[in-house]
């Protein structure tokens, strides 16, 4: 009877462990999906808006002041780095 009880306890613990593992995997998938779908789209939209403003500013800024547009280019580079990091991190969660 004692062996049978130990086996039942072990089966319950194993089942509980499987449930915890499934919940963790589900949460990781949700976070990865949100990173990719939500944050990824926001980064892309921000980069597109920044590129549009850079083009518009270039039309109105004198040639001597266009060097200041390099800051806009630097921001775009930072957004690229963020997008790259997000694409690297999200799949690692799966």
Contact call for residues 29 and 37 (beta carbons, < 8 A): no
Q: Tell me which residue has tokens 């200041």.
A: 68
Mean pLDDT of 80-88: 87
Contact call for residues 61 and 28 (beta carbons, < 8 A): no
Summarize pLDDT for 20-72 with one digit per residue, the tens: 999 988 988 888 888 888 888 899 899 999 989 888 888 887 777 777 778 88
- Within 10 A of 89 (CB to CB), how many other CB atoms are there? 14
pLDDT for residue 45? 92
Judge whether residue 1 has pLDDT over 70. Answer: no
Q: Which domain holds residue 51?
A: 2-92
Judge whether residue 4 has pLDDT over 80. Answer: yes
Total domains in the fold of the chain: 1
pLDDT for residue 38? 86
pTM greater than the 0.75 cutoff: no
pLDDT for residue 15? 87
């Amino acid at each position: 009877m004692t062996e049978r009880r130990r086996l039942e306890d072990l089966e319950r613990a194993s089942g509980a462990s499987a449930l915890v593992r499934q919940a963790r995997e589900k949460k990781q998938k949700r976070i990865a999906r949100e990173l990719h779908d939500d944050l990824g789209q926001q980064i892309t939209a921000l980069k597109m808006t920044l590129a549009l403003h850079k083009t518009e500013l270039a039309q109105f800024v004198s040639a001597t002041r266009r060097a200041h547009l390099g800051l806009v280019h630097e921001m775009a580079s930072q957004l690229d780095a963020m997008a790259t990091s997000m694409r690297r991190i999200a799949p690692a969660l799966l």
